[in-house]
Structure 1
Amino acid sequence: MCESKHLMRVQRTEGALASSTTQYIGQEACSVFVVVRQEESPISDVSSVVEKITRELKDNSNPERKVKISKYMKTSNLRFIGVELPDIHRIVKTHIKPLKPEQLPSLMGELWSTESFETRLAAIDMMKVYAKKAPVEKALDIIDCWIDEIDTWGICDPLCQPCIGTLLYRDPSIAKTLEEWRDSDNFWRRRCSVLPYLFLCLKANYQPEFDSRILKAVEPHIDDEEFFVGKAAGWVLRELSKRNPHLVRGYIDKNKDRMTKLVLREGSKKL
């Protein structure tokens, strides 16, 4: 189990006392931990930083936005504060500016466990930064824990495309982990197994050698009847068709009898 608990380890050295905090990150079915050395961190109290961020989010709450977003994210049981995305980005940027990547996991973990839509988006904003520089496996382990608590595409998608997508771009070997997610009973996890490949399809990132990897990730889901999974598979095909239309047209012609109507429609939109 991923548990929210802190284990203090104190290491005594000759003439000095060095302390570090080992914090378990996530909520479910994981044993992920990260070490944050207190002597390196300006965060003396993670909870107080989380309180400041939460307060600033509430100060930027828009009642109309709160009503609108709660209706739009109707599958979610999270609380909604009603903050516009640019305000979330600005607040997060202000608080993480003085921090090193290795100092982010404890902060992300507490924000995620707050269980509001906006604090989880704030945690994901931090993960976007962390995913670019941190050890790939450590970042993926944290995300793996989070996936079991996803209940809306509004959390799933920003976690997939920029976060897992960045890790996939940095280290192709994590595709093995994503492959393990393909048969999950949790359809959000299945969505997470394919949607990160959207990042590889983007104009700024795309390389022709990605084609086979992308199609391999899409293939298990072209007949998935779950809306959110089929939608993701079609979305990735559509984005790939902007880079290599001939390839995607041929792939669809070959596999259209297997494809759901949703995947076929979404994947063909730009052809």
Structure 2
Amino acid sequence: MSEFRESLRAELATLGDPDRAVKQQAYMKSALPFHGVPVPQVRSLTRSLVRRLPVASRAEFVHTVEAVWDGATHREERYAALALLRAPRYKQWARDVEIVPLLRRLIVDAAWWDLVDELSHCVGDVLRSAHEAMEPVVREWSRDDNLWLRRSSIICQLGFREATDLSLLTEAIDGSIGDRDFFARKAIGWALREYAKTDSEWVRGYVAANEARLSPLSRREALKSR
């Protein structure tokens, strides 16, 4: 665990671009500094480290994710923790409902779109593999006071296409439909626009039926042409 984290830190520092780092931190409004390493490169580095320094148990996997996330001195380490969660080598643990308490904690801790949106893909991975167990969790998050849990409940089905659970999606949207926060409204529009690629008629009907409830931003996003 410590070897993985320390190797990650050393290699990120080597790859860093100070000029890019300043711009990244300003754009993300991040309290954590950046090294200036592009996200695709962080993911590639993480995959390399997974091959070099694999873990042998679920507990070690979770502890490594937590160690990288909690001990982060630069934001790219948080991106690496997320890449670790989505590493194909560990999908049997990352897509099991036992990972949900960790995902919930990270979403609440992250509290910003770049991290929460990637974590929402992790939530979606669990929902795909264990729908019956995960569905009530997503429904609960859709009514939570925490904005970022609600955003995750709305966008976790992005890319599901015909497998989208429309009942779950509409309940998730309904939990934030009156929220004036930009990130809630944007998530609603994004989720609807994504599903429109599968069933545009349903989305147009949903928007028409809920025109008075949806914010202008959500409506525009939902009906935006591809």
TM normalised by structure 2 equals 0.89
- The residue that corresponds to 1:176 in the other structure is 136
Q: For 1:80 and 1:184, how far apart are their aligned partners in 2?
A: 31
Query: Relative to structure 1, is the Cα distance of residues 140 and 107 closer, same or farther in structure 2, using a 3 angstrom cutoff?
Result: same
The aligned counterpart of 2:91 is 132
Runs of 4+ more than 6 Å apart: none
**CA offsets 1:208-247 (integer angstroms, 9 cap, x no match):** x633332332232233211111111110000000110011
User: Which of 24, 36, 43 pairs up with 1:89?
Assistant: 43
**Residue segments in structure 2 that go unaligned for 5+ positions in a row:** none
Residue 222 of structure 1, aligned match among 165, 169, 177: 177
Q: CA RMSD in A?
A: 1.9
Gaps of 5+ in 1: 1-45
Corresponding pairs, count: 219
2:69 is the alignment partner of 1:112: yes
CA distance in 2, matches of 1:52, 1:253: 53
Larger helix percent: 2
Q: Which deviates the most, 182-191 or 144-153?
A: 182-191
Deviation at 1:101, TM superposition (A): 6.3
Q: What corresponds to 2:120 in structure 1? A: 160
CA–CA distance in structure 2, aligned partners of residues 214 and 148 of structure 1 = 21
Distance across 1 between alignment mates of 2:105 and 2:168: 25
Paired amino acid for 1:84: P
Partner of 1:26: none
CA contact (8 A) 1:101 1:129 kept: no
Which residue identity does 1:238 align to in structure 2?
R
Counterpart residue type for residue 260 of structure 1: S
Q: Which has the higher strand share?
A: 1
Q: Deviations over 1:39-68 (max 9, x none)?
A: xxxxxxx21221111110111111222112
Q: Report the AA paired with residue 126 of structure 2.
A: L
What SS is found at the alignment partner of 1:197? coil
- What residue is the counterpart of 2:5 in the other structure? 50
| CA shift for structure 1 position 82 | 1.4
Output the amino acid matched with 1:155: L
Indicate how the Cα distance of structure 1 residues 212 and 101 shifts in structure 2: closer, same or farther if over 3 A, else same. farther
**Residue type of the alignment partner of 2:84:** M
User: Greater CA deviation, 230-239 or 60-69?
Assistant: 60-69
Is the contact between residue 235 and residue 267 of structure 1 (CA under 8 Å) also seen in structure 2?
yes
User: For residues 161-202 of structure 1, what are the alpha-carbon distances to aligned partners after superposition, in whole Å with 9 as ceiling and x for unaligned?
Assistant: 2x111111111131211222223332122212211121423x
